[in-house]
Amino acid sequence: MRRVFAAVGAALLCASGGAASPPPGVDQAVVESDAMPAKLSAFGLFRGNDPQTPSTGIGYTLRAPLFSDYTDKHRFISIPAGKKAKVAADGVIEFPVGTVLVKSFGWSDVNDGRPVETRLLIRRAGGWTALPYIWDADGKDATLALGGRRVPVTFKSPDGETHSIRYAVPNKNQCKECHSLAGEIVPIGPKARNFILDPAASDTLRSLYFENPAALKPTMPVWDDPKSGSVATRARAYLDVNCAHCHNPAGSASNSGLFLRWTDDPAGVNYGIGKRPTAAGRGSGGMDFAIAPGDPAHSFLIYRLESTDPGIAMPEVGRSTVHKEGAALLRQWIAEMPKASH
């Protein structure tokens, strides 16, 4: 990650230093057209098509990221020259037309750390478009995979366990299943409460991309840092990022009546406390409630998080392994709830 930030800084320095030939940059004509280029290089987002050297933009991370099979995610934002993003009063970050959110996925022990795939979320005049690209075997460019693909990989998770999975690069529709609000595509992570701009970026750089960078004050705890918040608040941050993109009244799981946003009442039945299964099928695991306070072993929310069976597992897309550390946090949260009547 540090390398990415350094490269961004270098590229910027180079551009502002009046170098004789500026590096080839982002092709805004392609970004803002309706095109779905077959090759990622058509966008000019990377220098020399090296996924570790963005040709422009500013890096960011998230306090609580969406779990995707233990991938390391390298994220940056490309915003066209002269335009800026703005943090709205409700903390939603508004990006101008021509913005590209770039997210590369990989593992440090797969392909020497080169990413397996890069996903683009492009703000076009008609709204956001999601495009998935898979890096070619020679690592020189990435190819559009509209229909998604399964890529066999073997990697070690932080606890040292080796996983051999058929990692699912999502298809274009699956991008939308998660990134959808009332039928329109929207970014998930970039909300002020969860968003960390590259800490190495200077104030000048921040102001170059954000109208009001001071408004980027993350309020959510870091899900795996006990110093940043209680078990309950960290569990809620985890649920917000990993579940609430579907589990909200305008999301893909609206019909479930289970709503897990940071802003939802964590004591309510719609947060899962004493909530009976709806359309859960085998996902109920023979249990009566999504969350049985004090009893994680009888909370089917945990059962679904700890499964990789497609008929049971939650989230429904984006995961072929169990996020043990995330599940452990939620188990602890439920175990510490007083056993109340439900």
Partner 1 sequence: MRFHGLRHAATLCIVAVLAASPAAAKVISVSATTPDANEKLQEALILAQPGDTVQLGAGVWKLTDGLSLDVANVTVRGAGAGEGGSILDFIGQQGAGEGLLVTSDDVFLTEFAVLNTKGDGIKSKGADRIVYHKLRVEWTAGPKETNGAYGIYPVESTDVLIDSVFVRGASDAGIYVGQSKNIVVRDSIATENVAGIEIENSYDADVHDNIATKNTGGILVFDLPSLPMQGGHNVRVFENIVNDNSTANFAPKGNIVASVPTGTGVLVMANRNVEIFDNVFADNGTANVMIVGYRYEHKDPKYQPLPRAIVVRGNQHGKAGYAPKFPGGDMIAAAMGGSIPPVLWDGAGDAIVLDKVGVLSLNLPDVKTPQSEAKPSPADLSKGTPPAALPVIKLPDAMEAKVR
C-beta of 4 vs 290, nearer to partner 1: 290
Sign for the pseudo-dihedral over CA of 324, 231, 71, 127: positive
- Can you tell me the distance from the alpha carbon of 127 to that of 263, in angstroms, rounded to the nearest whole number? 25
Between 175 and 235, name the residue whose CB sits nearer to partner 1. 175
Crossing angle (nearest 10°) for helices 324-335 and 231-242: 130
Report, in Å, the least distance between residue 324 CB and partner 1: 20
The span from the CA of 156 to the CA of 2, in Å, is 21
Contact (Cβ atoms closer than 8 angstroms) between residue 4 and residue 59? yes
**DSSP per residue over 215-277, as a string?**
G----SPPTT-GGGS-HHHHHHHHHHHHTTTTSSTTSTTGGG-----TTS-TTSGGGTBTPPP
Give the nearest distance from C-beta 319 to partner 1 in angstroms.
9
Report the residue number, 228 or 254, with the smaller CB distance to partner 1: 254
Length of the chain, in residues: 342
Q: At closest approach, how far in Å is the CB of 176 from partner 1?
A: 6
Q: Which is nearer to partner 1, 283 or 293 (CB)?
A: 283
Say if CB 47 and CB 78 are below 8 A apart.
Answer: no
CA-to-CA separations, 13 to 82, 104, 220, 225, 338, in angstroms, rounded:
17, 24, 33, 34, 56
Could you tell me the smallest distance in angstroms from the CB atom of residue 126 to partner 1?
Answer: 15
Cβ proximity to partner 1: between 118 and 129 the closer is 129
Cβ contact 164:21 at 8 Å: no
- Amino acid identity of residue 10, one-letter, is A
**Residue 269 CB, nearest approach to partner 1 (Å):** 5
Closest distance of CB 168 from partner 1, Å: 5
Which residue's CB is nearer to partner 1, number 64 or number 120? 120
In angstroms, give the least distance from the CB of 249 to partner 1.
6
Compute and round to an integer the Cα radius of gyration of the chain.
Answer: 20
Name the minimum Å distance from CB 205 to partner 1. 37
DSSP 8-state secondary structure symbol assigned to residue 83:
-
Nearer CB in complex with partner 1: 49/252? 252
Binding stretches for partner 1 (CB under 8 A) = 145-150, 166, 168, 171-174, 176-177, 183, 249, 252, 254-255, 257, 269-270, 274-289, 300, 309-311, 316-317, 320, 342
Report whether 73 contacts 323 (CB < 8 A). no
Phi/psi for 141 (5° steps) reads -160, 170
CB-nearer residue toward partner 1: 184 or 225: 184
Contact 235, 64 (CB under 8 A): no
